[in-house]
A and B are shown apart, each in its own frame.
Chain A
């Protein structure tokens, strides 16, 4: 039963297999995650099975320590996104790993590439890797969204779980204060010091809410570093993650089914999907 299952631990992970040049690196990354999470792994290929492809994949899987006791391979023809997501549902996958390019070309982005569509529609957490490595290394710096939303606590807890597995000492939690038209309405009727004071108060207020939230989370000896910024939600955290050279950005899953209008009038997750700042983990809180 997927609905209601906690977003972590990652007991079953899956890798979306495309026979691209990055396949081996992605399998290597999947091997590392399977090992640190002690997880069963499902390899999913949405496409026709052929002897050549099967042999190539089996060779790679054997090379990276996968066998029939710790993994399953699913071959199924059909729409790539629907197929991958239905197989994830069948195996109650907790974490789906996909390879993704940092930036899609404009047409592909608007039409919806497979990796972006999966990240929008998945009912499990999705890890998008932009630079999978043949010799994978643990994540060094994690940035996690912490804005006022009921899903954020699940993203933070999942990030703590992952950080624990990666032996990280700390993670950065970012709250973005995004209030439309605020600066203009403040500037209209206030003196400059008053306007500055109001903005500072709003930021401080949000920061104390974030600190309060973090104090209620079981951080498992991992230091949680709260940061609060004013800016457009999704865009600001992406830029921040880039500025601190984060190698993993952890964010909430979208609240509703994202469609082309969300791409045209970009907001939240779509800012990041338009230009991935680094690897990204989209945490699906299945309690909602």
Chain B
């Protein structure tokens, strides 16, 4: 069996330690000025990466965060696992009954806030592929579908936090925003998984063909959200009361998460889809103890998520690839299309224009989900580093600006 050398182990452990400790420190500092934790983690990644430390102290950077070799491969595997787990936790926050309860208004808002940004994003990149960095010879359709999806996605955790801070959580408006964001997340990740399947970038399912792959994805989704959910509901009370706590439920949940991720990866779709759907099935269960839910969430968001978000900055030089016109255009397209889409959907569903605008501003927050989407696309070679940096900046700016804009709409409401 091939193993890591002792030096590799030391470097790997030290780099994980640096990433966790430094990102936590920054996240805590950011928290004091009300910045999302993810932002602190990302800033730390940029500082540790080629943009700052890598530029000033290349020896240190190359020693602890090498681009090639055993340590790089091991770190890459850890980051892959982190991505799967982040999507699993994101799925746990999606509650389909909430979408169903909000009814027509949520469906209108959800569809409109998804379709309009997607269509605009697709159309613009289709018309001007070179401006957005499409390399000649690469698939324009995949590139445009990806960009459309990137414009359409919404960050549920950021929205939840904003609504809570603004005491809007328990209002009809708050629930509508949450329900529409959940709808966006579900459809957005499904589309993105199909984009990755179109890329056909590995897996034992290569050769299944798109038709069969989509059939398996649909069958898997239906199974997990119906029979799978029922089976989870039956087994969770036993697991939580008879097995050791919280080890039993943690092993069970994450074991199933990886199994589903392996299945979707096996049929040629990215592993994230399996993890996301498993997260929905598990998170929706009323039998999942609230404490268990928190433990899973804390375990992933405080150990694996920081590694992922810091790693983003380690691989890209944010200063060298900061293309101001591209950043501004991406920000403009993302904000205008999302706000217009969500506002028009809510308005068509029967909300007045001011409240509809508040919904639009709320839905504009992209946060960690956009960063995750951009990173996967970047690593899959769908996008150029300049566009990747532009998407990251857009995700951060929309997350920060969302709350003040909702406040503005609400003030005008009064």
Contact = CB atoms under 8 A, between A and B. Distances in A.
Interface size range on B against A: 20 to 34
B236 to A, nearest CB: 13
Interface string B76-114: 000000000000010011011110110100000000000
5 contacts: A181-B157, A185-B164, A255-B101, A264-B226, A265-B284
B412 interface: no
A60 interface: no
A21 interface: no
B230 A185 contact: no
Interface of A: 106, 148, 177, 179-189, 198, 202, 206, 230-232, 235, 255-256, 261-262, 264-268, 271
Given A181-B160, A189-B36, A256-B103, 14 more contacts: A106-B230, A179-B169, A181-B95, A187-B294, A187-B297, A189-B31, A189-B37, A198-B164, A231-B290, A262-B100, A264-B225, A265-B96, A267-B100, A271-B286
A265 B286 CA distance: 11
A256 to B, nearest CB: 6
B223 to A, nearest CB: 12
A172 B164 CA distance: 29
B160 A265 contact: no
Given A180-B95, A181-B160, A256-B103, A187 B298 contact: yes
B355 interface: no
A187 to B, nearest CB: 6
5 smallest beta-carbon distances between A and B, as pairs: A267-B97, A185-B160, A265-B96, A181-B160, A181-B93
A266 B284 CA distance: 9
B297 A267 contact: no
A281 to B, nearest CB: 22
B231 to A, nearest CB: 12
B161 interface: yes
A271 B101 CA distance: 13
B166 to A, nearest CB: 12
Interface of B: 31, 36-37, 89, 92-93, 95-98, 100-101, 103, 156-157, 160-161, 164, 169-170, 178, 182, 225-226, 230, 284, 286, 290, 293-294, 297-298, 301
Q: Is the interface of B mostly helix, strand, loop or mixed?
A: helix
B306 to A, nearest CB: 12
Contacts of A189: 31, 36-37, 161
Nearest to B89: A184
Contact of A148 (B31, B170, B178, B301): B170
A185 B36 CA distance: 11
A121 B380 CA distance: 51
Contacts of A179: 169-170
Given A181-B178, A183-B294, A185-B157, A267 B101 contact: yes
Contacts, number: 75
A265 B225 CA distance: 8
A180 B93 contact: yes
A232 B286 contact: yes
B97 A188 contact: no
A29 B298 CA distance: 52
Contacts of A183: 290, 293-294
Nearest to A209: B170
Nearest to A179: B169
A265 B161 contact: no
Contacts of B100: 261-262, 265, 267
A168 to B, nearest CB: 29
A262 B103 CA distance: 11
Contacts of A198: 164
Nearest to B305: A188
Nearest to B296: A184
Nearest to A148: B170
A203 B312 CA distance: 39
B24 to A, nearest CB: 13
A206 B170 CA distance: 10
Given A179-B169, A265-B100, A184 B157 contact: yes
A44 B182 CA distance: 44
